[in-house]
A and B are shown apart, each in its own frame.
Chain A
Amino acid sequence: GAVVSQHPSWVICKSGTSVKIECRSLDFQATTMFWYRQFPKQSLMLMATSNEGSKATYEQGVEKDKFLINHASLTLSTLTVTSAHPEDSSFYICSAIGHTNEKLFFGSGTQLSVL
């Protein structure tokens, strides 16, 4: 199946710093990428949808200035958590879908811990 690579797997940072998470589709062109966050023992919550070359669409309640999403190419999207605070600590997961718009493939996730 298609492969989506997410990096880093885990990151620990100090409060107030920014963290960038990369998501790459390795063997297909990702026309759309989705970013989720997940708290312990909870389901995945959709944060935003990004299409290549256009601005991301954020879900209600998600601060676009806090979570910057860039989808500059058909194989790469990045999520930057700006001025991270302890409440931003979470598991962030990216996913990508190609031209067939049929299956969504997920990255392995990034565990962010903000001290």
Chain B
Amino acid sequence: DAKTTQPPSMDCAEGRAANLPCNHSTISGNEYVYWYRQIHSQGPQYIIHGLKNNETNEMASLIITEDRKSSTLILPHATLRDTAVYYCIVRATSGTYKYIFGTGTRLKVLA
């Protein structure tokens, strides 16, 4: 079973920041938080991942709470092309390291 919970859907105005929350209250110390997104009828695309520190790359920022029980993916300036389903996954990088997808958040960016 997936170890994360996310809101099923969100809307965001184009040009505004999109903040997508994820709850992973049972995360273990060796598990990373990964974010992927899936645009309709395509394979998921990697966005970002982190362990405990906040991370930023060219696509997004990842904010992980100090207790690591939740995180937020931030798309700083959402565009229409960011409309997709966003998945938050927790996964260890050793031992059993399967990627189990939850239900994700369907983000709709509005013009």
Contacts and interface: CB of A to CB of B under 8 A. Distances in A.
Given A95-B99, A104-B99, A44 B44 contact: yes
B101 A44 contact: yes
B108 to A, nearest CB: 14
Interface residues of A, number: 25
B43 A43 contact: no
Contact of B46 (A44, A45, A104): A104
A91 B41 contact: yes
A103 B46 CA distance: 8
Nearest to A57: B98
A1 B46 contact: yes
A107 B41 CA distance: 11
Contacts, number: 52
Chain B contact surface mostly: loop
A102 interface: yes
Given A95-B99, A104-B99, A43 B49 contact: no
Nearest to B100: A46
A44 B103 CA distance: 8
Contact of A109 (B43, B49, B87, B101): B43
B90 to A, nearest CB: 13
7 contacts: A1-B46, A6-B43, A32-B97, A44-B38, A106-B36, A106-B43, A108-B43
Interface of B: 2, 34, 36, 38, 41-46, 49, 87, 93-94, 97-104
The 5 closest A-B pairs by CB, nearest first: A106-B43, A44-B101, A43-B101, A106-B44, A109-B43
